Structures are given as C-alpha cells and as structure tokens.
Amino acid sequence: SFSSFGGGDAALGGSGKRVPVGLKKPSKRVVVTGGAGFVGSHLVDKLLSRGDSVIVIDNFFTGRKENVVHHFGNPRFELIRHDVVEPILLEVDEIYHLACPASPVHYKYNPIKTIKTNVMGTLNMLGLAKRIGARFLLTSTSEVYGDPLEHPQKETYWGHVNPIGVRSCYDEGKRTAETLTMDYHRGAEVEVRIARIFNTYGPRMCLDDGRVVSNFVAQALRKEPMTVYGDGKQTRSFQFVSDLVDGLVALMEGEHIGPFNLGNPGEFTMLELAEVVKEVVDPSATIEFRPNTADDPHMRKPDISKAKELLNWEPKVTLHEGLPLMVTDFSKRILSAEK
Ligand code: NAD
Ligand code: UDP
Ligand code: UDP
C-alpha cells in the first residue's frame, strides 16, 4: 500500500541514519493544513521543536510566509503552496486540518470559497487520511453553537445556527466538516479528533482581520479610538494561542475523539476588554461605538470540563498575561509597516 511505501523511513529517526528499533522514538511525519496562518504556525513551531517532521499545506489566503520563514532550511520542514479544495497525495502519520479563514472579514470575503474549503477541503483531507491510515484532527469552532441558547456551552449542546445567513458559510461549513469527520470515522475507520476552538489571540494574528482583540490593540497602538460594536455588553472569552496549541496536541495524542471545547473560560464584555487593552497599551486610549453586525452572538463562554477531565488540559495564560505578548508583536509589525 501507499502508506507502507511511504512509511519506509519511519525507523530512520530525525538524522536520516537507521537507528535500532527501541533505542530512539522515530519522529512523526505530520501535515498541518493552514500551517502558515496564525494558529497553524504556532503549532508548527511546537511540533518541530519536539522533533517531528512537518509538511505545511497553505494557499496563503490569510497565511503568510513570514510566520514560518524561521524554519526554512530545517530539513524536517516543508512548505507546499496548495489549496485543500484540490486533492493531494502525501504520506504522513498525522493530519492537523486547520486550513480555513477564521475571521469574519476573511470568511465573508468569498463565502463560496469558504464553504468549499470547509466541505471539499475537509473531504480531501479525510480521503487522504483514509488512504494512508493517518490520524486526522479537525479544528472546528465555537461558532457551531451559533447564537447559543445555553450558557456556558457544553459539547452536548447542538447549537442555534442560522443556515442561510452571512456567517453560515463558516458556521454551517464547520458543522458539515464535523459531520464528514464523524462519517469517515464510522464509515471508513479513520481515527479522528475534533476540537471546537473558542476565540484565540496572540502574536502573528493578521493585523487587519477585524477581530476584536486585533482591532483594539492595533487601534490603541495607532492612537485611534477602539471601535466597540453595539452596546459593548456582548461577551467573549479569550484564549492565548500557546494554550490552544497545547490542547490540540493533547487531543491528537489522547484516546478521545471529542468534540472538545478548547477555550479560556474567563468571560469579558467588549467594554471590559477595551479597559484591559487600555491598561496594557495606552491609558489615554478612547472608545467609539459602532453599529453591530448581523447575527452577532450575544455571549460565548466555553464549558471546558470535558477537556479538563479527559485530556488533562486547561488554559494557563490569563488575558492580562497574554495581551502584552501580542502587543509586543503588533507594535513591531505596525512600526515596520508604517515606517
Ligand atoms: P488564519 O486565517 O490565520 O489561518 C488559516 C490558514 O489557512 C491561513 O494560513 C490560510 O492561508 C489557510 N487557508 C485558508 N483557506 C485555505 C485553502 N483553501 N487551502 C489551503 N490553505 C488555506 O486563522 P487561524 O486563526 O489560524 O485559524 C486556524 C483554524 O482554527 C481555522 O480552521 C479556524 O476556523 C479555527 N479556529 C480559529 C479560531 C481563532 O480564534 N483563531 C477560533 C475558532 C476556530
Ligand atoms: N483524496 C486526496 N488524497 C488522497 C486520497 C483522497 O486528496 O490521498 C481526495 C479524493 O480526491 C476525494 C476525497 O479525498 O476527492 C475523498 O476521498 P475518498 O477516497 O473518501 O472518496 P472517493 O475518492 O472514493 O470519492
Ligand atoms: N467587536 C467589536 N469591535 C471590533 C470588532 C469586534 O466590538 O472592532 C465585537 C463583535 O461585535 C463581537 C465581538 O467583538 O461581538 C467578537 O468579535 P470577533 O469578530 O472578534 O469574533 P467572533 O464574533 O467570531 O467571536
């Protein structure tokens, strides 16, 4: 089979020299789709640093070469410009499937492309996983809960989603991706994992992706007013990216399929978030109210008891600790772009 053909170098270890079995753990070969993006690039850093071989598949829609350029020259790293909507042949042990624009500005830019990425892209990666016997992890989203009628949201909640709205290409796209994942598991014995990720922030986020943390930080750094949509009383919980990456790896390596909520349960209104940004970036920062967008969920907060119990995972970085790390990265990038 292709997988045993491709698996021939599994006993070679990182150095390329054949090592006696049992002496050294063979390094894993891992695909990260969307690996040039915000979350993906941090995941790639972690996998490479522990000795895995990593192939990034990315079409650079929202990802950037700069996010992974520090690995160029590493023989365990490969970057392929490829669109997951098209099939691909590779031989690996694990597939982390992240490819999909994540911020509303990006996923609404071309909704047809977004739903194709979620449906055809996920189908292709599951077909690949099936053919080579690789374990497959889907990065789904808290948006599968829609505008939730249950608070906080547990994994057992089925959601409250508009199937024909402007966010549906993303919400319903991810719901379909979850369905595909479970059908390949039940129908084709693919080993699968599903993460439902809640709002995540950190260094390497797109500067102008329109998400609230990147907007507020960039606005405060540029001495512009922070734009609060609606009355600012809607809530979100913000997870620092390193916590998410730890959770994704724990999920991939654990025994449980999921879905698992991965998020930080600390809940903030947008007005409270603006206060924290003000403290960290600039005490003289101001806010300005703007009309809210359609279908904006009023509250969102993960119930992470399942991940705590079964993955032994919980976030460690608070908003007050994580935000300064993002601010350092943003201020460098804003300075160099506006020089
Ligand atoms: P991102 O936009 O920074 O990264 C997505 C990456 O996928 C980019 O590098 C982009 O170029 C690539 N991509 C998009 N469409 C592609 C295609 N058709 N073929 C190949 N590559 C493609 O977003 P992110 O925040 O890093 O999100 C990563 C994953 O996590 C996404 O699946 C997203 O839905 C999920 N997620 C993220 C958050 C969050 O708060 N960041 C929350 C929930 C879920
Ligand atoms: N696929 C892929 N790489 C592979 C195997 C499959 O991209 O190594 C794609 C394939 O082109 C198809 C999808 O994954 O579009 C689903 O594959 P599967 O074998 O499940 O379905 P089928 O090809 O039988 O429709
Ligand atoms: N938001 C805001 N100001 C901004 C951008 C977003 O007040 O400049 C609000 C938005 O209305 C929403 C919340 O912040 O209620 C989170 O929005 P984001 O787009 O970051 O993520 P999502 O809606 O996907 O959770």
The per-residue DSSP string of 145-198 comes to GBS-SSSSBPTT---B--TTSTTHHHHHHHHHHHHHHHHHHHHH---EEEEEE-
Give residue 27's pLDDT.
86
Q: Kindly state the DSSP code that residue 8 receives in the 8-state scheme.
A: G
Give residue 10's pLDDT.
39
Residues catalogued as catalytic = 170
Give residue 1's pLDDT.
33
Would you say the pTM of this structure is higher than 0.90?
yes
Give residue 224's pLDDT.
97
- Ligand 1-lining residues (CB < 6 angstroms): 33-34, 36-40, 57-63, 83-85, 98-102, 106, 117, 121, 139, 141, 197, 199-200
What residues of the chain score a pLDDT lower than 70? 1-25, 339
Relative to beta strand 29-33, strand 53-58 is parallel
Relative to beta strand 235-237, strand 267-269 is antiparallel
Q: Which atom of ligand 2 is nearest to the CA of 90?
A: 8
CA of 322 to the centre of ligand 1 (A): 20
Q: 1, 83, 91, 124: which to mutate for ligand 2, most atoms within 8 A of CB?
A: 124
Give residue 22's pLDDT.
56
Q: Among 260, 239, 238, which residue's Cα sits nearest to residue 249?
A: 260
Relative to beta strand 260-262, strand 192-197 is parallel
Give bridge partners of residue 197 from the DSSP assignment: 141, 262
Give residue 14's pLDDT.
39
